[in-house]
Amino acid sequence: MNTGTTSPNQNDRQSCEPELSFPGWYKKREPLTFPPAAMAMTAAPRHSPRLHRAIRVLVATGLCSLLAMQTSPASGPLRPAGKPRLAPLPKTAPSPGNNPTTAAKVTLGKQLFFDPRLSGDNKTSCASCHFPNRAFTDRRPRSLGQQGRPLSRNTPTVVNSGFLKHLFWDGRATSLEQQALLPIASPVEMNQDLDALETELNNIPGYARQFRQVFKTGVTRNGIAQSLAAFQRTLISKPTPLDRFLGGDTSALSAEARRGLDLFRGSAGCVRCHNGPLLSDGKFYRLGVSVKDKGRQSVTGKTGDAFRFRTPSLRNIARTSPYMHDGSQRTLEDVVTFYYRGVPTSIPGNLPLDAKPLLDNSFSEIPDLVAFLNSLSSPPLKIIPPKLP
């Protein structure tokens, strides 16, 4: 599509949803029409003005109901009401009822996050892969595990993880408490025996004292998980230029970034998956990036989930390169070009892809989209490693 000129109906087109082939999304249909007899109800001259108003309300209500029915898919997940929207990030992340956030618990969790004694060789901490000065990633294509061996996936940031419903690229954890212990116990990551960890930390007076203060018990794996989760819930990114723009500051975005925003919400269709406060729908898609990792299928066991991975948040995306679950895309330009060129036509098992070239616009628009993606960065969080017990 040529976007170098503005068509007479450009505003109308942008107000409609782009027609991309995503599951649960359906192409725009023709407007509903009503038989003359039905429309004549509102024009009968013998009715009183009050009755006219009542009939008009009923007709309008029925029309809205019919339109809602028309845009609901016949099967699969219900389509969200209206066009997906962008939204500001809440200032605090919700805590589960059984793990309320307290200052003492956050302090303890911060110490544990930076403590290499959580690993089997006492050399690897959570911060060994989630560097505060790298937007809590490691900026490597793939994480490094025991003895510096590359793992199979890229390190996701833990910033804003308190808002996620599924953790890890494959969504195998559904809470930060569940997520916290998995890397610690993983043989290829931190390779720690949890029984041994409880004993080791209980023998450190500073930790034993803090656990008694916070949990009224000695060191337990449950307390470790809850403390780490509480700390991670405080890692919330600050407002971005996009947030300021959506709040009414029209000078917050450059002209290039504003054109990119129009593409993002309009013809490029990025907002279909990257929406809401996190700029992620939190769902799992098969894009054909790699066929070596089964992704979501390793969690659900379902063939239909093979090669699906969670939509990442785009907040601070410019600081978390490289990209994709396997770190195969080095720059934002590479990522956008990947979508413009189109994804592979087939993957093992002839499983269908969730999108077929996602973008069909002009390559000249790539700089605008990249400028917009750069506007999703906020001032870095200043987290100073604490003194350990």
Specify the CATH number for the domain of residue 184.
Answer: 1.10.760.10
Most distant pair of Cα atoms in the chain: their distance: 90
Q: How far, in Å, CA of 48 to CA of 109, rounded?
A: 70
72, part of any domain: no
Same domain, yes or no: 278 and 188: no
Residue 336 domain boundaries? 241-374
Q: Which of 189, 198, 200, 365 is catalytic?
A: 189
Active site residue 189: yes
- What residues contact residue 374 under an 8 Å CB cut-off, 6+ apart? 257, 318, 332
Of 376, 64, 94, 38, the closest CA to residue 238 belongs to: 376
pTM above 0.75, yes or no: yes
Q: Structure tokens of 10?
A: 């450009």
Same domain, yes or no: 219 and 266: no
Same domain, yes or no: 263 and 209: no
* 233: pLDDT strictly greater than 50: yes
Same domain, yes or no: 279 and 324: yes
Same domain, yes or no: 213 and 303: no
Instruction: Give the residue from 206, 232, 258 where a domain finishes.
Output: 232
Of 358, 318, 106, 119, the closest CA to residue 232 belongs to: 106
Instruction: Give the residue from 198, 232, 266 where a domain finishes.
Output: 232
Q: Name which residue leads in pLDDT, 25 or 84.
A: 84
Q: What is the DSSP letter of 150?
A: B
25, part of any domain: no
DSSP bridge partners of 284? 310
Q: Name which residue leads in pLDDT, 31 or 326.
A: 326
- 284-285 and 309-310 beta bridge pairing: antiparallel
Residue entry with tokens 């690897």: 124
pLDDT, tens digit, for every residue of 60-113? 434 333 333 333 333 233 233 456 799 999 999 999 999 999 999 999 999 999
Same domain, yes or no: 264 and 333: yes
110, part of any domain: yes
88, part of any domain: no
Instruction: Give the residue from 210, 232, 254 where a domain finishes.
Output: 232
pLDDT, tens digit, for every residue of 142-195? 999 888 889 999 999 999 999 999 999 999 999 999 999 999 999 999 999 999
- Phi, psi of 323, deg, nearest 5: -120, 170
Quote the number of domains for the chain: 2
Same domain, yes or no: 217 and 316: no
Same domain, yes or no: 263 and 363: yes
Residue 133: how many other CB atoms lie within 10 Å: 11
Residues 112 and 105: beta-carbon distance below 8 Å: no
pLDDT class for 346, splitting at 50, 70, 90?
low
CA 46 to chain centre: 57
Same domain, yes or no: 213 and 276: no
**Residue % of the chain over a pLDDT of 90:** 66
Of 111, 120, 124, the closest CA to residue 206 belongs to: 111
Residue 299: how many other CB atoms lie within 10 Å: 17
Same domain, yes or no: 279 and 171: no
125, part of any domain: yes
Classify residue 50 as exposed, middle or buried by CB count within 10 Å of its CB (0-12, 13-18, 19+). Answer: exposed
263, part of any domain: yes
161, part of any domain: yes
Q: What is the DSSP letter of 252?
A: S
In Å, how far are 93, 209, 237, 242, 353 from 317, measured between CA atoms?
A: 20, 39, 11, 13, 24
DSSP bridge partners of 276? 86
What's the whole-number average pLDDT of the chain? 81
| Radius of gyration of the chain, Cα coordinates, nearest whole angstrom | 25
At 283 the three-state DSSP class reads coil
Same domain, yes or no: 159 and 120: yes
23, part of any domain: no
Same domain, yes or no: 178 and 247: no
Q: Please confirm whether the linkage preceding 322 is cis (ω < 30° from 0).
A: yes
pLDDT, tens digit, for every residue of 120-142? 999 999 999 999 999 999 999 99
